[in-house]
Structure 1
Amino acid sequence: MRRLVLLLFAGVLAACGAPSEPDATSAQPPPGAFHSGECNLVTDDEVEAAAGTAIFRKVLDGSAGCFWQEDTMLGSVGAGMGISTWWYRGSDLDLERQLEHDAGRTITELEMSGNQGFQAQDVNACSIYIDKGDDVIAWSIQTLNPASLPDLCSITAKLAQLSQDRVN
């Protein structure tokens, strides 16, 4: 009986087969698609250099983007402010522009390394969005104390330009 169970189990496994290797081309983005790499190809040291201070610490590193949190506290709670970069796959620049407009930020159109985009800013934040075909990449900074940093838009512009120089 035990032998029969083992034979049946072996037969089921054989029928299922071994897991197939993924097709090498299936992991690649489609032709013409944008793919930038980890943190849109900008390092922690470059974030620190652009910000002119070491108060930002990477707390999120994912396939869609990265976030460097500002060491700012409200009492005993972190304020959650910081620098981020995101790769919005399948997003539309007009949608992002409308969301920033609805948030009350001032919108300025721009072009960076041949790509259309815009800057959105208010007193405590500055974001740059760049069109990359069917995708959008964004760099953003938000802080409770903008006076402690260089011009916020100069920080995001430096970081966005680094990304553009490396992925264009």
Structure 2
Amino acid sequence: MTTNVLILCTHNSARSVLSEGMLNYWAEMLGKDVRAYSAGSAPSGRINPFALEALANAGVDTAGFRSKSWNEFVEDGAPQMRIVFTVCDSAAAEECPYWPGSPVKVHWGYADPSNGKRQGFELTRQAIGYRMLQLLMLPLDTMSNAELQEYLDRISKS
């Protein structure tokens, strides 16, 4: 069964998009049945071009990426999430919608690269990619939600 992961950031224009791209990239490369999605509480309507550039430079296909609302993931027919991440402090502080299926929730915060230059996006992409690899090394199919929560909290401190 596919492990669906939703990654949230307020504007869904940089960090959450980098996370979605890197998790899907590594999952495909490693043959893991994991599918990442990203969304925002107040989507900007555009993806930061430096985020797309950082992903493309890492070999990630960025076709189809778009800035979207987290409301898409509570509608009928939306994929049920196993894990919901926040990657910016403001999204972590917001009251999120009810996620069907009671997914594991964790905050993996990253500084906003939008205030910097290309290098900031690349460094953020690398940091995110490292944590996503740690996630993919877990035996997701056999872990209880309590075990998964414990390990994801540990990874958040690394």
**Is TM (by shorter chain) over 0.5?**
no
Higher strand share: 1
Classify the TM-score, shorter chain. under 0.3
TM-score by length of 1: 0.26
Higher helix share: 2
TM-score by length of 2: 0.27
